[in-house]
Structure 1
Amino acid sequence: MDFYKILGVSRDASQMDIKLAYRKLAKTCHPDKGGDTIEFQKIQEAYETLSDTEKKRNYDNPQQHNIFTTQPPTMQRKGDVQYSLKVSLKDVYFGAVRKVRVQRTKLCPLCNVRCGACGGEGTITQHLHMGIFTQVLQSVCNMCSGTGRKVNSNRCNACNSTGNIVESNVFQVEIEKGMASGARTVFKEWGEQPTKPNQLPGDLCITVQVEESGDFTRRDLDLYFRQPIDLRHTMIGRIITIPHFEGPVNLEVSGFGIVNPNKEYIVFGKGLQNASGKKGNLHITFDINYPDKVLTDVEIKKLTAIFDEIGI
């Protein structure tokens, strides 16, 4: 960042010019006056650096400040926050949008600024030259106690001088038709928040978990349903009603022939549908209720005669 450009002053500006420029910007850009929080943070950081003689000298002559630095410090990314969102099979059948409210606690941008002594690293590095050898010493920065940041001593209305602010947001997660458990939606920078200026926020990862329905189980786009049926109806048939998501599905069992409990009967196109329009099927398995009855010889002869007559 060009601190001179941020304050709107030239590189040969006096300390009085810098102070007047800061005060002018503070009157219009402070968040309490309707200004942008991030932009005001930049203004504060620029003023803190340029108003301090030593910091200004280091800023104007970065190579002289640290001749051993050949590249900027590596930004460390904080961890992601994992969130499990449970949805119903009905949501997956029709598609839905679910809202998730999330809070994050982050450093107050108005009263936390980068430590000028350590550049936000939290440590001071010294190079001691002893002949052909160089010893590198690292110590905790005394100015910021290793945090890499410096808290403004003035009272802050944004965070009540706690140093942290809590932000809340409502995210909309789209549940696509046919979505499987484990599908993830990522919201950038709503994970773990930085505690040092040289850190980057993690992400919020919302993973969808599809709960099984009380009536159906699921495999990919296919739905599976178990239907109890009496023994007599396995042969003579009856109308069964399946509580489908689109409304009751009425089926005449006799259309399947004599029901086999070891067989799956398929109703095509009544499964789930994915985002591309592909449809699964509805698989029906029958659980036969056998009567607790011992047949007499006469009953056996009657049934045998009927079976012989119809060829089974």
Structure 2
Amino acid sequence: MFGRGPKKSDNTRYYEILGVPKNASQDDLKKAYKKAAIKNHPDKGGDPEKFKELAQAYEVLSDPEKREIYDQYGEDALKEGMGGGGGGHDPFDIFQSFFGGSPFGGGSSRGRRQRRGEDVVHPLKVSLEDLYLGTTKKLSLSRNVICSRCNG
């Protein structure tokens, strides 16, 4: 019948993006995604578009319901709303679920950061000779901490 239900379309692109066969296990998908995500991460000079494609492919193929729809009807069916789609998530969130943050350093603005305390300023007398020789000086500071036993 014309115009009824989703039409069949190419349903191998996501597998090609991840470099896995169509019958790949969840474990194989996870390994392939991890390897490709590290290689293509923008913080390591990778292509941001390729990274987004990898994340989208993994998001769909790692979800059994979305994978079944994708395998049966292709990418278009997911975009049309069957199975919740695959474009609304941040690819960095998927990456963080594996690695717990950016392993590349540099400080990403994503996620929670520990709040920094106030800067401590303390005068220290050093001579020009100390600076030239790279002399090390010890500095003792006292600070207030919360007691772990009584929270006081």
Look at both structures and tell me which one has the larger radius of gyration over its CA atoms: 1
User: What TM-score results when the alignment is normalised by the length of structure 1?
Assistant: 0.24
Whose helix fraction is larger, Structure 1's or Structure 2's? Answer: 2
Greater RCO structure (CA 8 Å; 6+ sep): 2
Whose strand fraction is larger, Structure 1's or Structure 2's? Answer: 1
User: What TM-score results when the alignment is normalised by the length of structure 2?
Assistant: 0.47
